[in-house]
């Protein structure tokens, strides 16, 4: 109640006809937040706060009975608005998407318009509004409420909960937050006291700078903070400054425009960050599936060796041979177990941190390994997979990740040639040394190729030509190649062609992460 009365007193500037018709009314925002928190129990305290404000701030200009009736109508109108917000936002004003922001704005604007119309109409019936001024009074009152609620409610909502206060405290520990809040206050003082350009109000467009800064840096939370601080600073300057500095009819629109621009930019930033997080999570899931194949391949040889050495040890023990041969066999068994553990450790690090385990490798060995993995599928689908000789040049890479890239490209080529008739399904993989210490690996298939239309979106996430695909294989592959200091691309043509370049060891260009 004390905060409500304080906000009402602070914002009681340029009242129309000496009534509660001002350019900025933040007190309904406090009432709505309270209603969102406690529901219908907020009705009695809210009504009491309105009555106390009418008495202390305005001296009951409409009389006791009319003030009681109009105050009850005011609380009832915003109570319905609060119920509409509770129904749509489940007691949480989280403006995390453009749709939620639009719904919130629609409810607030509609509630303010209907409540303001009813409130001013009653004052008109009580003879407090001069004839012919009803429309102007309704517009000014409703717009003042919209400006006050839009610019104040998001911040008050965060302040009303422990989680929101913790988030604001964390945000204010960042020097940028303090910088854009301070710049908002300084710009208000400079512009409305005529310091900027020695002219009052004409340079208002500078006020968009801190609110856009806050929106791009901290999303909707930063916008809510700066919108409130800026509106509060303007009102304080207007209330306590030397004379009337502001054209208040325009001040209403300025305050609303500042808040809306900031909120829509802020929600776009929040949506982009949320989408980036979801994309990162999805890519990790795809990577898990892709790397599972690499894991199976890498573990196949050590597990086979483990089984062979285990059987050999068992045979030696049955034969009673406990000499050097048994010791040597057990030593190899331990060595292979360590190799398998190292593969698992590297993959775990990749999923957790994206780290790479760089080693010097021969691309010919990697190509041979991938070719062997597709041998059975090629025989079943009558696909000819040719792997030409690769120059004996060393590359420094994370072998598991580069195998994933090559496996992705060959798997895509296998899908592309399925539509070709028997005898026309061919895939060719080859490598060639380039100038500047680089190695280019090419994967060509006899499929339909990549068109210009497909090329435009080929490397976009969640764009896939396969019904069962997620559209992240090429995105992941390109990211891996670029992390190694190389590039991956496709070529437009009548045949499928994908190429990627990796730096050779001699260039020292491999990038550890």
User: Taking residues 379-408, what's their average pLDDT?
Assistant: 84
Mean pLDDT, the chain, as a whole number? 82
Confidence of residue 352 (pLDDT cuts 50, 70, 90): low
Give the rounded percent of residues in the chain with a pLDDT score beyond 90: 19
User: Taking residues 153-178, what's their average pLDDT?
Assistant: 86
d(CA 351, CA 149): 45
User: Taking residues 168-191, what's their average pLDDT?
Assistant: 86
Residue-level length of the chain = 513
User: Taking residues 227-250, what's their average pLDDT?
Assistant: 69
Contact 408, 290 (CB under 8 A): yes
pLDDT at 443 over 70: yes
Residue 151's alpha-carbon distances to 28, 53, 74, 255, in angstroms, are 11, 21, 20, 8
Please give the distance of CA 418 from its chain centroid, rounded to a whole number.
39
| 82 vs 21, more confident | 82
Confidence of residue 31 (pLDDT cuts 50, 70, 90): very high
CA atoms within 13 A on the CB side of 340: 16
pLDDT at 401 over 60: yes
DSSP output for 122-174: HHHHTT-S-TT-HHHHHHHHHHHHHHHHHHHHHHHHHHTSHHHHHHHHHHHTS
Q: Which of 196-200, 294-298, 391-395 has the lowest mean pLDDT?
A: 196-200
pLDDT at 323 over 70: yes
* Contacts (Cβ under 8 Å, ≥6 apart) of 418: 381, 425
Give the rounded percent of residues in the chain with a pLDDT score beyond 70: 84
Residue 364's alpha-carbon distances to 273, 390, 403, 483, 504, in angstroms, are 41, 6, 11, 21, 14
pLDDT tens, residue by residue, 72-109? 999 999 999 999 998 888 655 567 788 888 888 999 99
At residue 195, the pLDDT reads 44
At residue 448, the pLDDT reads 86
Cβ neighbours of 103 (radius 10 Å): 16
Confidence of residue 324 (pLDDT cuts 50, 70, 90): confident
At residue 333, the pLDDT reads 85
d(CA 453, CA 13): 60
pLDDT at 115 over 90: yes
pLDDT at 250 over 90: no
User: Taking residues 12-21, what's their average pLDDT?
Assistant: 81
Confidence of residue 5 (pLDDT cuts 50, 70, 90): very high
Contact 500, 441 (CB under 8 A): yes
Angle at 224 between CA 223 and CA 229, to 5 degrees: 95
At residue 375, the pLDDT reads 83
Q: 167-174 contacts: CB < 8 A, separation 24 or more?
A: 167/221, 168/221, 168/225, 171/218, 171/221, 171/222, 171/225, 174/217, 174/218
At residue 41, the pLDDT reads 92
Instruction: Reduce the secondary structure of 370-389 to three states and give it as a string.
Output: HHHHCHHHHHHHCCEEEECC
At residue 113, the pLDDT reads 93
Angle at 368 between CA 393 and CA 443, to 5 degrees: 80
Q: How is residue 161 written in tokens?
A: 């909960």
pLDDT at 309 over 70: yes
d(CA 456, CA 451): 9
pLDDT at 229 over 70: yes
Query: Per DSSP, what are the bridge partners of residue 500?
Result: 441, 488
At residue 160, the pLDDT reads 86
User: Taking residues 232-249, what's their average pLDDT?
Assistant: 65
pLDDT at 208 over 80: yes
pLDDT at 508 over 80: no
Confidence of residue 354 (pLDDT cuts 50, 70, 90): low
Confidence of residue 374 (pLDDT cuts 50, 70, 90): confident
d(CA 21, CA 39): 27
pLDDT at 488 over 90: yes
Phi and psi at 114, nearest 5°, equal: -70, -45
- Using DSSP's 3-state secondary structure scheme, residue 342 falls into helix
| 508 vs 87, more confident | 87
Q: Which of 479, 484, 488, 481 is nearest to 461 (CA)?
A: 479
Torsion sign across C-alpha atoms 107, 108, 110, 115: positive
Phi and psi at 36, nearest 5°, equal: -60, -35
User: Taking residues 119-129, what's their average pLDDT?
Assistant: 89
pLDDT at 430 over 80: yes
pLDDT at 509 over 50: no
Q: How is residue 447 written in tokens?
A: 């499929």
pLDDT at 501 over 80: yes
């Amino acid at each position: 109640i004390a905060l409500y009365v304080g906000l009402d007193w602070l914002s009681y500037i340029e009242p129309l006809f000496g009534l509660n018709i001002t350019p900025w009314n933040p007190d309904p925002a406090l009432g709505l937040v309270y209603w969102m928190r406690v529901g219908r129990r907020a009705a009695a305290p809210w009504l009491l706060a309105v009555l106390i404000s009418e008495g202390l701030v305005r001296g009951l200009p409409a009389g006791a009975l009319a003030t009681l009736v109009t105050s009850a109508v005011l609380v009832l109108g915003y109570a319905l608005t609060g119920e509409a917000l509770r129904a749509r936002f489940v007691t949480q004003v989280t403006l995390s998407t453009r749709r939620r922001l639009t719904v919130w704005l629609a409810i607030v604007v509609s509630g303010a318009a209907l409540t303001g119309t009813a409130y001013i109409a009653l004052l008109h019936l009580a003879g407090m509004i001069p004839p012919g001024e009803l429309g102007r009074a309704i517009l000014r009152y409703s717009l003042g409420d919209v400006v006050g609620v839009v610019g104040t409610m998001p911040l008050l909502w965060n302040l009303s909960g422990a989680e929101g206060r913790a988030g604001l405290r964390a945000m204010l520990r960042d020097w940028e937050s303090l910088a854009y809040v301070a710049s908002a206050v300084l710009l208000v003082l400079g512009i409305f006291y005529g310091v900027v350009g020695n002219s009052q109000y004409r340079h208002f467009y500078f006020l968009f700078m801190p609110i856009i800064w806050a929106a791009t840096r901290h999303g909707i939370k930063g916008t809510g903070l700066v919108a409130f601080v800026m509106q509060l600073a303007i009102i304080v300057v207007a209330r306590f400054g030397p004379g009337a500095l502001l054209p208040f009819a325009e001040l209403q629109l300025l305050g609303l425009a500042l808040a809306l621009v900031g909120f829509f930019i802020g929600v776009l930033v929040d949506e982009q960050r949320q989408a980036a997080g979801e994309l990162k999570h999805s890519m990790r899931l795809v990577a898990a599936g892709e790397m599972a194949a690499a894991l199976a391949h890498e573990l196949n040889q050590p597990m086979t060796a483990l089984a062979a050495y285990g059987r050999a040890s068992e045979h030696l023990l049955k034969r009673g041979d406990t000499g050097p041969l048994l010791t040597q066999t057990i030593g190899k068994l331990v060595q292979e177990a360590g190799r398998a553990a190292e593969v698992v450790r590297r993959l775990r690090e990749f999923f957790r941190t994206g780290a790479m385990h760089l080693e010097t490798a021969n691309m010919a060995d990697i190509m041979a390994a991938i070719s062997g993995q597709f041998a059975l599928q090629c025989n079943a689908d009558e696909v000819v997979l040719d792997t030409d000789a690769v120059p004996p040049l060393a590359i420094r890479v994370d072998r598991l990740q580069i195998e994933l890239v090559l496996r992705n490209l060959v798997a895509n080529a296998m899908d592309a040639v399925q539509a070709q008739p028997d005898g026309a399904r061919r895939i060719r993989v080859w490598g060639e040394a380039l100038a500047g210490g680089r190695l280019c690996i090419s994967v060509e298939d006899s499929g339909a190729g990549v068109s210009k239309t497909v090329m435009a979106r080929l490397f976009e996430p969640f764009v896939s030509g396969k019904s069962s695909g997620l559209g992240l294989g090429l995105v992941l592959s390109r990211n891996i190649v670029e992390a190694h200091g190389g590039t991956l691309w496709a070529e437009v043509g009548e045949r499928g062609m994908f190429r990627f370049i990796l730096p050779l060891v001699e260039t020292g260009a491999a990038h550890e992460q």
